[in-house]
Amino acid sequence: MAAPAQNLRINGDRLWDSLMEMARIGPGVAGGNNRQTLTDEDAEGRALFRTWCEDAGCEMGLDQMGNMFARREGADPDALPVYVGSHLDTQPTGGKYDGVLGVLGGLEIIRTLNDLGIRTKHPIVVTNWTNEEGTRFAPAMLASGVFAGMHTQDWAYAREDADGKKFGDELQRIGWRGDEEVGARKMHAFFELHIEQGPILEAEGKDIGVVTHGQGLSWTQVTITGKDAHTGSTPMPMRKNAGLAMARVLEKVDEIAWSHAPHAVGAAGHIDVYPNSRNVIPGKAVFTVDFRSPDLEVIRDMENRLRVAAEDIADEMGLQIEFEKVGGFDPVKFDENCVAAVRNATERLGYSHTDIISGAGHDACWINRVAPTAMVMCPCVDGLSHNEAEEISKDWAAAGADVLFHAVVETAEVVE
């Protein structure tokens, strides 16, 4: 394939300026972002991204899940496009780079190709996937999951947030529900640039992670029901304390994950107790257990042991318990040709690199089921993410975007 000249680089200053400008939309309270999916802030970020793409000469497509597709024409308009992108939505206490680097890194490819007057055989499409985070509307990677045929659109539209608002209604409300059928687009390949969100690359002093696999994920929502009662006048033997049962289950979650060290992980990030009043014994606890591992059998073992242990705890305490699988995907092996394109680009550019398994889930994990897919990772400071203090260096951002540029443009084939 016709690769871009080895000396070509993206414009790191322009990429960084765009990251900082996008970060001003939906600011957090501690220097990061709170630009949750389908909020007015998400709509504002989408509008800015659309303006930038149109200024770069792209035509913007929009599907019925709000996925955005900015297309730069190729010399052969019939050739399947090379897609590149990630997500603009953030955690409630998110950082400025999770997802955003991948979307704006894709836009920087278009801007650089325009600067250099380079044409590619295949069109290139920069993508913003709706609701990657899955915080407001579970599960994570919802819209890329519908695109890959893993969820129906009706099921996705019916997902509710904590206030009972539905995904489909909120998408309509912010004015970003398109007409395109979801998943109708066919891809030559898909690439995603993302911060590592873990400590490995920084600790090993590597600029680039060549992502060969993604670990699998399992989200089980547990509901434990006891009985609200007075925290003062109710004798200990009479209590039906759902909050205490939850605490005992969470201790088991930690134990189960440690039993599969060093690769398995487990925790509960979403925890609600009701009525959450200082002098009422919690009659109900609802929480989501997040288990992950590169090994599917380990994930299944952790899920099974969670149910057995949690049912035993509920039985001993005379409480009711229910389980609902609210998210998950099997471990992923990315496309070897696309991974090779990333590795070759990294070596051509002379960046230090190491193969890595993604600890976090990404839209690429679903798109890998419908198109040849690979990811590029850059380090993040202290491996910290899903925290407003998430930080990367400008050089790391530029190196990741350079590798993304070379992998995407080589795959899209430069037309001399």
Name which of ligand HGY, Mn ion, none residue 140 binds, using a CB cut-off of 5 to 8 Å depending on partner kind. Answer: ligand HGY
Q: Which is nearer to ligand HGY, 28 or 134 (CB)?
A: 134
Shortest approach of ligand HGY to residue 315 CB, angstroms? 31
Q: Phi and psi for 115 in degrees, rounded to 5?
A: -55, -40
d(CA 104, CA 86): 9
Shortest approach of ligand HGY to residue 360 CB, angstroms? 4
Selected from 85, 99, 139, 282, the binder of Mn ion by CB under 5 A is 99
Q: Which is nearer to Mn ion, 97 or 122 (CB)?
A: 97
Q: Which is nearer to ligand HGY, 269 or 275 (CB)?
A: 269
Query: What b/e sequence results for 199-209 when a residue is b if at least 16 CB atoms lie within 10 Å of its CB, and e otherwise?
Result: ebbbeeebbbb
d(CA 403, CA 416): 21
d(CA 82, CA 126): 9
Token duo for residue 408? 């995407």
Site size for Mn ion (CB under 5 A) = 2
Residue type, 332: V
Name which of ligand HGY, Mn ion, none residue 99 binds, using a CB cut-off of 5 to 8 Å depending on partner kind. Answer: Mn ion
Shortest approach of ligand HGY to residue 368 CB, angstroms? 15
Asked whether 59 and 45 are in contact (CB, 8 A), the reply is: no
Helix locations, 222-335, DSSP H: 242-259, 296-317
Closest of 289, 321, 318 to residue 224, by C-alpha: 321
Compose the 103-142 pattern: x for residues touching Mn ion by CB under 5 A, - for all others.
Answer: ----------------------------------------
Q: Which is nearer to Mn ion, 99 or 331 (CB)?
A: 99
d(CA 328, CA 214): 12
Selected from 98, 202, 390, 413, the binder of Mn ion by CB under 5 A is 98
Shortest approach of Mn ion to residue 99 CB, angstroms? 4
For Cα atoms 56, 57, 58, give the angle at the middle one, nearest 5 degrees. 95
Closest of 27, 216, 23 to residue 103, by C-alpha: 23
* By the rule CB under 5 A, 89 interacts with Mn ion: no
Q: Which is nearer to Mn ion, 197 or 411 (CB)?
A: 197
d(CA 344, CA 135): 36
Q: Which is nearer to ligand HGY, 288 or 411 (CB)?
A: 288
Residues that bind ligand HGY (CB under 6 A): 132-134, 140, 360-361
Interacting residues toward Mn ion by CB under 5 A: 98-99
